[in-house]
Chain A
């Protein structure tokens, strides 16, 4: 199984917590960027003759691009590969307010069948603190538009432990999400990265961070509530209605092959990993598949297979842990790991302390 990740590093405005490869105010480069994307992946597709199973447009804000751009990209792919567009997962990330019903409909008609909406919160005060460009009404409208445009596989991204957020407020966010009834939910706790505006805001504004106990309570509540509402908790932070697990992300967690194209994108093919430079201008100027700066590494795949695989609630089959018997034994003794159906998997406590578990295998 091989996946294709296409990075779209454009945003109307950068959010205050964001430290990913994305830039505001560079939309003028979009046409050239799309051409560069095609220049990068077209030769890759023909050389390797992949059987592509998923495509993922990530960002940034991919929905800032026009349908014609997606048309160009998708038709190039179809032209080279026997890609079963009707039965393959094609995801796109989006931000509320960046596409109207017409655009969404056009995207759906081009074959994009899974929409991931960066909602983050339904609380306007908190949306403002973290610097989102939309309010909660925009999310609801966008969600309705997406449904009426024909998207029947929708994910909502939510963040908990936002500054000044109370437990009650998170409960209410979660309830709003459940009421909308998306097929998939991703819930992450806010992480404050050094150098982001939010990091600076913390020292100047009167922002209250959620303490660890409270975060734990929010996370536990999330698991209980979503499970009760019919979502399957299949990865540390991800929940899906049966059959709607994200196939593209599952491939990451199973340490599968993927090509990442675009500025700052990462690839993993047959044990080799490499990444593209982050700078859009540099990327746009590059030619062909070999973007300057590719320096593939070949890390030991076993630790990565383990720390990625353990993120999945089903765990990882016992034989993948060969050579780590001592670590496994210790983790089982510490109550962080357990065995079930010939798989090692995180215990409930292990879910909360994933990094403590993962570090044993690197």
Chain B
């Protein structure tokens, strides 16, 4: 039985054709008939299709030449690298897809490294060979230089045109090792994804490594320590196909009356409560949100609705963290923690779209570690909570190893950008005469602002990036506060490098001046570090409206103009006497180079 199973993933840089290849495989193996086919079948959320990325992983089982092929999809963004690594841990092989016109990009490398760490057999595939700009020979060279793949082992395909699909399926059967496992041993199954269904509770996606699992069985989640009784197991097609049992080597789902996804964490090991495995599968990590921001309802009375909405999203998103907080400027809100910026944006967008909430999101920040004079240290996830400078001995912030791929002609600009954003240069490697890989160590705080946009702009969109967290380091940081109309606005406080406080304060004050509308009074904007004002701007007062005539008694037009003017202000948050738009809270991220 085990010898007829293949578990594999597709890994690729964004837009290199992962979802399209998955669609073709499903079609070719008759797993999904043409008439059921819609674009990017595995991306089920609207947001996924719109953004062209996979947020949640999924799995699907195919039959091909007497073999069972389980395709385990992986999320396509660096925010979710832990989830990617757990999906890969459920597989024995991976298809590494590279765009024939682009070549290896940052996420190609990052994903391939994750696959290697999980000991997967990698099948390199050059996709989009039908395009006129395709350069398969050059890409083969890159694959050889970077990963050591022999050119004859590289498959050529066009997922869009259906070229090379049978060859890929044959290679999966021939080259990817079949799963190994012992059905007689105590149960060990890896949770590689889960989602919340309002009718059935949490549906966990699992890969069984040892033993077997069937309904009625008492199970234990080894990491979170909770126990459940299995209600149903089965395999995955477009829907759920119930089966009596899943055993070692198989991939499928599990339903056990689990109420929240946080009871059923990605990476956790499911075992038999009565006959538990001696230890869990390796690689489980508890969630650690990397990026925080505040969500505040525009209308104070919406706070309870916001809390309800976030708790509903959390049912299905174990990585989403929140707790109530109170801002002097914005009132009651939630401090929320995320895996990264994309994760944050998705949550914010879902709150507005699916729950129809109007919210202000404060600028995202990382978690700082402040080492106090009394030798204690505190984690700070909200800049305004940073203790006074006099009590602090040092501040640490999370650092990344940042890998950048860029055409050689932009190396200078990329270098300048990374150094301006406090990066320290580690390494430079030519992939071929035209393309360069640069490595830096850089604070995460710089990456969660506009780094990616600036990188794209200095390289005309040709560079790509990926990163991994390497730990905390001491930096010379200070808290910068913003005073609007003489009142401190805690929600605009940020942590900045001391030697850039003047420069960033000035830029921020200028940006705020640009986005905050004029009022009937002058509004001073001050940026200060401690008691020292480092930058100052003034928003001048509106002195005079237009004196419009109501021509021929057209009152309706006048009323509509006034209504429009008023509606614009409704989207703003009133702080003291000042109406502040959402853009102001994000201004700190958009200071430019």
Contact = CB atoms under 8 A, between A and B. Distances in A.
A362 B562 contact: yes
Nearest to B550: A252
B563 to A, nearest CB: 5
Interface string A1-16: 0000101000000000
A236 B547 contact: yes
B562 A355 contact: yes
A308 B558 CA distance: 10
A355 B556 contact: no
A352 B544 contact: yes
Given A219-B544, A307-B558, A349-B520, A362 B549 contact: no
Contact of A304 (B520, B546, B559): B559
A19 to B, nearest CB: 9
Given A188-B549, A359-B562, A352 B556 contact: no
* Highest count of chain B CB atoms <10 Å: which of A20, A216, A356, A362: A362
A169 interface: no
Interface in B541-593: 542-556, 558-559, 562-563, 565-566, 569, 577
A225 interface: no
A266 B556 CA distance: 9
A353 B544 contact: yes
A356 B552 contact: no
A264 interface: yes
Contacts of B569: 359
A71 interface: no
A260 interface: yes
Interface in A303-317: 303-304, 307-308
B558 A359 contact: no
Contacts of B547: 188-189, 219, 236-237, 354
A191 B551 CA distance: 13
A358 interface: yes
Interface residues of B, number: 24
B562 A307 contact: yes
A297 interface: yes
A58 interface: yes
Contact of B544 (A216, A255, A260, A273): A216
Nearest to A253: B550
Nearest to A354: B545
B520 A266 contact: no
Contacts of B559: 299, 303-304, 307, 362
Contacts of B544: 212, 215-216, 219, 352-353
A319 interface: no
Contacts of A325: none
A130 interface: no
A267 B556 CA distance: 10
Contact of B549 (A237, A267, A356, A359): A237
A258 interface: yes
B556 A191 contact: no
A212 B543 contact: yes
Nearest to A186: B549
A68 B556 CA distance: 34
Contacts of A121: none
Interface in A267-308: 267-268, 273, 275, 297, 299, 303-304, 307-308
B555 A266 contact: yes
Interface of A: 5, 7, 20-21, 58, 186, 188-189, 191, 212-213, 215-216, 219, 236-237, 252, 255, 258, 260, 264-268, 273, 275, 297, 299, 303-304, 307-308, 334, 336, 349, 352-356, 358-360, 362
Interface of B: 520, 542-556, 558-559, 562-563, 565-566, 569, 577
Given A299-B559, A334-B520, A355-B546, 20 more contacts: A186-B549, A189-B546, A212-B544, A213-B543, A219-B547, A236-B547, A237-B547, A237-B549, A252-B550, A255-B555, A266-B553, A266-B556, A268-B555, A275-B556, A307-B562, A352-B543, A352-B545, A356-B520, A362-B559, A362-B563
The 4 closest A-B pairs by CB, nearest first: A355-B545, A359-B566, A216-B544, A352-B544
30 contacts: A58-B551, A212-B542, A212-B543, A212-B544, A216-B543, A216-B544, A219-B544, A219-B547, A237-B547, A252-B555, A258-B553, A266-B552, A266-B555, A273-B556, A275-B554, A275-B556, A299-B556, A304-B559, A308-B550, A334-B577, A349-B520, A352-B545, A353-B544, A354-B545, A355-B562, A359-B563, A359-B565, A362-B559, A362-B562, A362-B566
